[in-house]
């Protein structure tokens, strides 16, 4: 690798040829502010916040796209640069809805933070005409407020490059430029898959999840409602970030205590129904593998992926597992098995899901998620961010809480259920149980490391009692598209495929805490949060779904056996072809 020498604010550093001024500055210990830049995703030099002076260039240059030259001197913090950045911020504010006191992103807004740091006091210097837009609330999972948009284009870059959906982009030109869908269609009328990745990269409050917290407050106050909350595996390694804890911290106990203090009746673990999903899905896979019908089997836990398949790959619908997601299975058993066990009318059980995913809001509204006729399996879905807002609003001192425990009978989830939140986790959990089902013994090595990691596409072959099982894992829908095209063309053949809509899996879901670009650009959130889940897996007393005693009990008492007629009625679902236009 060719190395070159540069000076950044007088500090000499050696960097690889082709390094940008932004990267060189970081190596030299200097941070340059950015608004539009996302490493490897949105490198367009549009916002001009990151301008620096380079000795071999005329005028200011955008550091995020300017490659440094050998012997060059870079200045990042001179008075004229600071003045330029302050003016740029004032120009952005001149066409920005300034509702900082009530904005959902207040205190976690990159624009707000920069205005504080650069002392932007005059917000009316460039006051004049301001574009007016109606807030688009047409989607089931989010809203868009273009009066808070700064045209950084991060959202459209993620939608195109990571998710291969491209349903949003810049419309019109000049002062009238704005982010919208083709033909100005509402977001709810285009082939958006509800993944929420656009929300997590938005630097302001222009994009946010639909807030459903009031529905939960209303249910808690309703004396006829029995409010139960389920929490997905990834919530326990995401929620702590909202309260200043290190990325990947496991906060299961504090999470349970906080939710209980909101006044709900029971707090359950979605890991339980992740185990239930494995029992159903592994059995379904073994049935198809034996008959060689409808292979490869493709997992169905990610609602963003399911919606993508229904829109863009309807010919692959027969390959989808018919299992509901763990969220859906929980709501189904809560309103059937649990309702009968506790003697509660199902219509009075109010199921709240806390998920790392905005697509779960869409999934909860699917017409085929109804184990009890006339009742949805899930009543409300909250993102991790919404739960954090409820905790703060109620004055709960999260960091000081004692550790609580999940309630029975859905309180014991296995380590296999925990790793559902990381890409490859569903595959690994299924393989652990599939090996047992075929051989009658647990695998000698529990960890299936070939399907771990944050690579976009992973593949492996396993010899199970003389049977070769070919598996693949994809996360991020652009990677899913690549994988499916290889399968369709015959270039690749697999027996079992796991697909997660969000890059890295649920740990990087659209409902997880939002980290600013200066963190996202230098730290792998996916790997750090996943490490917390793998650590949790190692610490749990049960690490196989089929060894979970509560799972054994629900089959003995109610479901009979995996893939039974009754299990299919309650735990399985169907899919529909969706028109993109």
Tell me, yes or no, whether 229 and 300 share the same domain: yes
Residue 296: per-residue pLDDT: 95
Tell me, yes or no, whether 147 and 274 share the same domain: no
Residue 376 main-chain phi, psi, to 5 deg = -70, 145
Rounded average pLDDT over 91-110: 93
The 3-state DSSP class for residue 15 equals strand
User: How many whole angstroms separate alpha carbon 439 and alpha carbon 547?
Assistant: 15
Give the domain CATH number at 337: 3.40.50.1780
For residues 355 and 453, the model is more confident at 355
Which domain-ending residue is among 174, 209, 244? Answer: 209
Residue 129: per-residue pLDDT: 74
Banded pLDDT at 575 (limits 50, 70, 90) = very high
Question: Is the entire prediction scored with pTM above 0.85?
Answer: yes
Tell me, yes or no, whether 394 and 460 share the same domain: yes
Tell me, yes or no, whether 156 and 219 share the same domain: no
Tell me, yes or no, whether 181 and 222 share the same domain: no
Do 219 and 352 contact (CB within 8 A), yes or no? yes
Tell me, yes or no, whether 65 and 124 share the same domain: no
Domain containing 26: what range? 3-77
Which domain-ending residue is among 209, 225, 250? Answer: 209
Give the domain CATH number at 30: 3.10.20.740
Q: Is residue 245 part of a domain?
A: yes
Residue 580: per-residue pLDDT: 82
Cross-strand bridge partners of residue 474: 457, 499
**Pairing, β 11-16 against β 142-144:** unpaired
Q: Is the pLDDT of residue 456 over 90?
A: yes
169: Cα within 13 Å, side-chain hemisphere: 12
Cα first-last separation, the chain: 48
Which domain-ending residue is among 23, 47, 77? Answer: 77
> What sign results for the dihedral spanned by CA atoms 526, 532, 534, 536?
negative
Tell me, yes or no, whether 384 and 412 share the same domain: yes
Tell me, yes or no, whether 565 and 426 share the same domain: yes
Tell me, yes or no, whether 228 and 188 share the same domain: no
Q: What is the mean pLDDT of the chain?
A: 94
**Pairing, β 60-62 against β 51-54:** antiparallel
Q: Is the pLDDT of residue 181 over 80?
A: yes
Nearest residue to 443 (alpha-carbon basis) of 581, 547, 305: 547
Residue 189: per-residue pLDDT: 94
Banded pLDDT at 581 (limits 50, 70, 90) = confident
- Residue burial 192-209, b: 16+ Cβ < 10 Å; e: rest: bbbbbbbbbbbbbbbbbb
Percent above pLDDT 70 for the chain: 100
Q: Is the pLDDT of residue 447 over 90?
A: no
Do 317 and 199 contact (CB within 8 A), yes or no? no
For residues 338 and 444, the model is more confident at 338
473: region left, alpha or beta (phi > 0 left; psi from -120 to 50 alpha):
beta
**Domains of the chain: total:** 3
For residues 351 and 371, the model is more confident at 351
Residue 413: per-residue pLDDT: 83
The 3-state DSSP class for residue 114 equals helix
Q: Is the pLDDT of residue 123 over 80?
A: no
Banded pLDDT at 445 (limits 50, 70, 90) = confident
Q: Is the pLDDT of residue 440 over 90?
A: no
Q: Is the pLDDT of residue 125 over 80?
A: no
Rounded average pLDDT over 81-108: 94
- DSSP E strands, 2-128: 3-8, 11-16, 51-54, 60-62, 73-75
Do 68 and 15 contact (CB within 8 A), yes or no? yes
For residue 320, give the DSSP letter: B
Residue 1: per-residue pLDDT: 72
Q: What angle do CA 193, 194, 197 make, to 5 degrees?
A: 105
Q: Is the pLDDT of residue 121 over 90?
A: no
Range in 39-43, 85-89, 264-268, 464-468 with the lowest mean pLDDT = 464-468
203: Cα within 13 Å, side-chain hemisphere: 26
**Pairing, β 266-269 against β 226-231:** parallel
Q: Is residue 92 part of a domain?
A: no
Q: Is the pLDDT of residue 478 over 90?
A: yes
Nearest residue to 543 (alpha-carbon basis) of 556, 534, 555: 534
User: How many whole angstroms separate alpha carbon 548 and alpha carbon 543?
Assistant: 8
Give the domain CATH number at 107: 3.30.70.20
Q: Is residue 249 part of a domain?
A: yes
Q: For the chain, how are helix, strand and coil distributed in percent, rounded to 5?
A: 40, 15, 45
Residue 131: per-residue pLDDT: 82
Q: Is residue 305 part of a domain?
A: yes
Banded pLDDT at 467 (limits 50, 70, 90) = confident
Tell me, yes or no, whether 168 and 112 share the same domain: yes
Q: Is residue 84 part of a domain?
A: no
Banded pLDDT at 437 (limits 50, 70, 90) = confident
Query: What is the residue-wise DSSP string for 337-405?
Result: IIHHHHT--GGGEEEEEEES-SHHHHHHT-TT--SBTTB-S-SEEEEHHHHHHHHHHTT--GGGPPP--
Q: Treating both helix axes as pointing N-terminal to C-terminal, what angle do 384-393 and 252-261 enclose, rounded to 10 degrees?
A: 60
Tell me, yes or no, whether 116 and 23 share the same domain: no
Q: Is residue 522 part of a domain?
A: yes
**Pairing, β 73-75 against β 3-8:** parallel
Rounded average pLDDT over 373-381: 95
For residues 243 and 439, the model is more confident at 243
Residue 472: per-residue pLDDT: 96
Tell me, yes or no, whether 149 and 296 share the same domain: no
The 3-state DSSP class for residue 460 equals strand
Residue 278 tokens read as 């494995």
Do 102 and 87 contact (CB within 8 A), yes or no? no
């Amino acid at each position: 690798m060719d190395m070159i020498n540069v000076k950044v604010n007088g500090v000499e550093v050696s960097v690889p040829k082709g390094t940008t001024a932004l990267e060189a500055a970081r190596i030299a210990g200097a941070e340059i502010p950015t608004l539009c830049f996302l490493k490897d995703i949105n490198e367009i030099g549009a916002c001009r916040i990151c301008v620096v002076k380079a000795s071999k260039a005329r005028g200011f240059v955008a550091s995020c796209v300017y490659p440094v030259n050998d012997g060059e001197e870079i200045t990042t913090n001179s008075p004229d640069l600071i003045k330029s950045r302050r003016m740029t911020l004032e120009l952005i504010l001149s066409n920005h809805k300034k509702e900082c006191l009530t904005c959902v992103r207040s205190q976690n807004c990159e624009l707000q933070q920069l205005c504080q740091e650069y002392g932007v006091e005059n917000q009316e210097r460039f006051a004049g005409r301001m574009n007016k837009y109606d807030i688009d609330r047409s989607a089931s999972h989010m809203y868009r407020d273009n009066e808070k948009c700064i045209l950084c284009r991060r959202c459209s870059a993620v939608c195109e490059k990571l998710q291969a959906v491209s349903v949003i982009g810049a419309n019109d030109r000049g002062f009238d430029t704005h982010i919208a869908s083709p033909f100005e269609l509402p977001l709810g009328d285009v082939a958006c898959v509800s993944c929420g990745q656009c929300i997590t990269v938005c630097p302001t409050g222009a994009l946010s999840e639909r807030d459903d917290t009031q529905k939960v407050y209303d249910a808690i106050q309703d004396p006829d409602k029995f409010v139960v909350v389920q929490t997905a595996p990834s919530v326990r390694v995401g929620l702590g970030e909202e309260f200043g804890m290190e990325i990947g911290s496991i906060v299961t106990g504090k999470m349970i205590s906080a939710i209980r203090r909101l006044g709900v009746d029971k707090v359950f673990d979605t890991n339980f129904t992740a185990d239930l999903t494995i029992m159903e899905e592994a059995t379904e896979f073994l049935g198809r593998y034996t008959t060689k019908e409808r292979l490869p089997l493709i997992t169905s836990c990610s609602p963003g992926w399911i919606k993508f398949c229904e829109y863009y790959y309807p010919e692959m619908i027969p390959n989808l597992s018919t299992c509901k997601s763990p969220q859906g299975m929980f709501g189904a058993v809560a309103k059937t098995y649990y309702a009968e066990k506790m003697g509660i009318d199902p219509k009075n059980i109010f199921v709240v899901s806390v998920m790392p995913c905005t697509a779960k809001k869409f999934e909860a509204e699917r017409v085929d998620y109804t184990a009890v006729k006339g009742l949805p399996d899930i009543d409300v879905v909250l993102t991790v961010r919404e739960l954090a807002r409820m905790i703060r609003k109620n004055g709960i001192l999260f960091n000081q809480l004692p550790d609580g425990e999940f309630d029975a009978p859905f309180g014991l989830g296995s380590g296999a259920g925990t790793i559902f939140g990381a890409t490859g986790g569903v595959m690994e959990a299924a393989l652990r149980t599939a090996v047992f089902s075929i051989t009658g013994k647990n695998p000698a090595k529990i960890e299936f490391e070939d399907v771990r990691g944050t690579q976009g596409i992973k593949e492996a072959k396993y010899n199970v009692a003389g049977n070769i099982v070919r598996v693949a894992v994809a996360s991020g829908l652009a990677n899913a598209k690549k994988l499916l095209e290889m399968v369709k063309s015959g270039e690749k053949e697999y027996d079992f495929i796991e697909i997660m809509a969000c890059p890295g899996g649920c740990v990087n879901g659209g409902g997880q805490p939002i980290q600013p670009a200066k963190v996202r650009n230098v730290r792998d959130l996916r790997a750090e949060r996943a490490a917390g889940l793998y650590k949790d897996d190692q610490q749990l007393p049960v690490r196989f779904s089929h060894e979970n005693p509560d799972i054994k009990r629900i089959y003995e008492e109610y479901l009979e056996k995996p893939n039974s007629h009754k299990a299919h009625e309650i735990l399985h679902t169907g899919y529909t072809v969706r028109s993109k236009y």
